Structure 1
């Protein structure tokens, strides 16, 4: 069944030859081994200047996932996220951003009945640089590099096996403006993730730097008429190197987020 769903989503979006929009879309994080997963976020995007070059995006989100032996994407809690990011389009076609994030992620046993073992907390800071190419009136290509620092704790803020991680993410994304009516867009993106970690256990040491994941996503985005809200609905396939799920085509995500867009409002001093 999930293979058929994957073919439907992938076929619809690939036939449209399109890509992803960074300004509104909130991409799902990796939720570990599973067959299927669900990601939902509510965000607030604020314009900070009259030219629309500076903005912030803050969001709260949850994720749920299945076990490895079923396809119930709502089966168990997978993650809770708070994120705040600041964007600056400082030059034509160029943008940078920086962010801080808190994540709380349950850890489950890797074999049936997949009981919860513990909860891991993560604090993350990252920076991102993007360059956009105009490929005609409706099509854009955006290439992005993102560098992250991730620090991990147990529920009581004690150290865990993985002390911290440095992760590099490289993403290419196409954006196609489908229709000016309700600002409809279709999207396709591919992102490769590379990382190196410092471990506390079994000994204090570094892992080797290398490729860890590939995430392929397709989205449909539109504005809700006569409201300040944008809706993004999509599919993502997370291909995790060395995981059990990669033998079944990766982890298949259904994703949906709602963005409240707040325009710039000049304040009188």
Structure 2
């Protein structure tokens, strides 16, 4: 059933990709809340937007599933689907900014056994990102990123959600190691901290700004020979503040398949 829903979304990606790009970097999983394990799958399109290669874009559809806090099946429950479009501009040899618009539809489950589905929460997200990359040598590079988000929430029928909107700050540091020039094979190790403040609808008040979670990632990335496709396979460990029902955080398996399109002058 999940596979069928995902296949139906592919034409939307192909349509949006006409306006799109080549950013070599994995699509990190979104946080899927309380669980023991989770999965994240992406189909995307990337295209260069100028002949110099300084501007590019990425559009993708992502599908997330998860286990309950009591089992280890990462495909047990439908968790989220995401439609995301981001434009990048490398304005200096080692500096880049980007801006993005995202729509997310996430299933909400009861926190007590048998973890019934309580409904769906919708989210519209705007964010900007600044990245500074240091090339340490021919094989190693170090990238530090600041990402600021605005998140607006609705129920499934666009009524008020418990949380009205949120401002979230994300700080990420990532080290990439080039394995081989053949197929542009790389390994990436990352750590990201998330901090947020929210405006609530019920009660009508602000939360306090503070630390929310840490996400640790490890990825293998490679071009698929004789195709325009790039494959990213990775693992993420999500350490959620105050969630001690599982040991060592929530474990994610992630797979991205990205179709790279070259620049075409109109």
TM-score between both structures, scaled by the size of structure 1:
0.89
* 1:253 pairs with 2:252: yes
Question: Could you say which structure has the greater relative contact order, defined with CA pairs below 8 angstroms and 6 or more residues apart?
Answer: 1
Do the aligned residues in 2 keep the contact of 1:24 with 1:230 (CA within 8 Å)?
A: no
Match of 1:211 in 2: 211
Shift of 1:160: 1.0
Q: Distance in 2 between matches of 1:92 and 1:224?
A: 27
In structure 1, C-alpha distance between the alignment counterparts of 2:69 and 2:29, rounded to whole Å: 19
Query: Is this contact kept in 2: 1:35–1:66, CA < 8 A?
Result: yes
**Structure 1 residues 34-183: aligned runs within 5 Å:** 34-183=35-184
Matched residue SS, 1:205: coil
Deviation at 1:22, TM superposition (A): 6.4
Distance in 1 of aligned mates of 2:23 and 2:144: 11
Between the aligned partners of 1:252 and 1:156, the Cα distance in structure 2 is 31
Report if the CA contact (8 A) 2:23-2:58 is conserved: no
5+ residue gaps, structure 2, are 1-21
What is the match of residue 33 of structure 2? 32
Whole-Å separation in 2 of the counterparts to 1:200 and 1:22: 38
Distance 2:24 2:82 in 1: 18
Query: How far apart, in 1, do the equivalents of 2:98 and 2:80 lie?
Result: 23
> Is the Cα contact below 8 Å between 1:134 and 1:141 reproduced in 2?
yes
Q: Deviations over 1:210-257 (max 9, x none)?
A: 000000000000000011000000000000001144x41100000001
1:35 deviates by 0.3
Provide the alpha-carbon RMSD of the alignment. 1.1
What is the alpha-carbon distance in structure 2 between the residues aligned to residue 49 and residue 260 of structure 1?
A: 17
Structure 1 residue runs of 5 or longer lacking an equivalent are 1-20
Give the whole-Å Cα distance in 2 for the aligned partners of 1:217 and 1:22.
Answer: 18
Equivalent-residue separation in structure 1 for 2:104 and 2:24 (angstroms): 21
Give the CA deviation at 1:153: 0.2
SS of residue matched to 2:161: coil
Mapped contact 1:33–1:244 kept (Cα < 8 A): no
| Structure 2 residue 232 is the aligned partner of structure 1 residue 232 | yes
**How many residues align structurally?**
245
